[in-house]
Structure 1
């Protein structure tokens, strides 16, 4: 039974990831630590109550070092000497700047959440991950963070999001290189353009589909994927027209 910790679980993709994991057999998925800044999500509370103890809420603000330390201590206590198998860094934000890069006033704030927060959470949980069997860190990214594909998204008025996700990609590679010898896997997943509060109603896929396909990748993760950046695989979208095709392959960035 593998253990999982997901950041940003109160809504959107994070909530869908927790829901998908909880739907799988207990012999495959054990404890799921669903974290968020506050315990004020009705949907998450309902999911926890229906999980027969498999999902546990942990307060965690990825931009607050004290909160991260407290969450790490609580998870260590809950694991009762066991390690953490999977860390899924999902918490993040998207900016909206119609003026483009010139109007970008929140870059530091976005970096703190999308990049520095991932770094602080990851290094705080490294000791528990070392004691786990899977030693896997999954960072949720986006093709909009790909420099090679930047021309496809030139008109999207989200410059800070693109910049910080590109930085997240390099952060993940740095971790992958340093911890490969210890058997760690650091994997970047782009879950697609999803119909969430962040993605909007015009998005390609339901959040449930994005979560299901992302978890399919997570459960097959191993050292052979260390440092890679991959897309989800969605039948019917493999050869889709437009910017987004979901082929389940590595993404150039």
Structure 2
């Protein structure tokens, strides 16, 4: 059962919403904010029987526009200081020869379109809050300048989706500037999660610590920026 908003009292630090919070980087980000005293709304496709500790759980399937709209309706009137668009999938990695239309479109739907729909649905919640930060967990793999410098994985859909997400960040930053909402893209590094694999270079905890520090320090001066977990600017 989804917890009600009354189950978790307000935090003086504010409220953070994380999509894709059932496992991996999203789960770790949600837990890090909860441990730091923030009120956390963890969005997952299926709410676990016992919930997720002290966090409020909300059912959300980012592949379904109706599910995103329903989340916005359920959270109507809730002030949300930070929205973290984390939910993503990798898709096919076999290169051009194995590229398949439905797989490609599903990756684009989840990785690029869904964050835009979430931003639209939750903009009133951000406007009701003090911090007003919208975060997209992107990837250096989507950088036109840097994305293929040191790897040649055949993940066409994933790379194209993250490049599109980066453009979404730039557009949203432009559109939301007058509302005082800072919009940023962050590269978490090559992290040892189900998506990143066991050979990845970075522990989840290290990535999350860097990402959280950047998010917590974000102001309107940073809006429209693309940075890595270690603070370095990533070229578009």
Give the alignment's TM-score, normalised by structure 2: 0.89
Name 1:38's counterpart in structure 2.
46
Match in the other structure for 1:101 = 96
Distance in 2 between residues matched to 1:115 and 1:183, nearest whole Å: 23
Shift of 1:232: 1.4
CA contact 1:10–1:41 (8 Å) conserved in 2: no
- 1:86 pairs, out of 82, 88, 95, with 82
**Cα-Cα RMSD:** 1.5
**Stretches of structure 2 lacking an aligned partner (at least 5 in a row):** 1-12
Deviation at 1:251, TM superposition (A): 0.6
1:33/1:57 contact within 8 Å kept: yes
Q: 1:157 — aligned with what?
A: 154
Q: What is aligned with 1:56? A: 56
Deviation, structure 1 residue 15? 0.4
Aligned: 1:11 with 2:23: yes
Q: 1:111 to 1:228 in 2, by over 3 A?
A: same
Q: Residue 221 of structure 2 corresponds to which residue in structure 1?
A: 224
Aligned to 2:234: 251
Aligned residue for 1:152, secondary structure, equals coil
CA distance in 2, matches of 1:154, 1:193: 12
Partner SS for 2:134: strand
- The C-alpha deviation readout for 1:88-140, integer Å capped at 9, x for no partner, is 00000112332x12321121111100011111111010111111111110000
Aligned residues: 222
Superposed, 1:80-229 pairs within 5 Å as: 81-98=77-94, 100-105=95-100, 106-229=103-226
What is the deviation of 1:74?
Answer: 2.2
Which segments of 5 or more consecutive residues in structure 1 lack a partner in the other structure? 234-247
| CA 1:118–1:183: 2 relative to 1, 3 Å | same
Between the aligned partners of 1:153 and 1:115, the Cα distance in structure 2 is 24
The change in CA–CA distance for 1:205 and 1:154 in structure 2 (over 3 A counts) is closer
Offset, 1:151:
3.1
Whether the 8 Å contact between 2:138 and 2:165 is mirrored in structure 1 is yes
| Cα distance in structure 2, aligned partners of 1:249 and 1:120 | 28
Q: After TM superposition, which residue ranges in structure 1, 4 or more long, deviate above 6 angstroms?
A: none
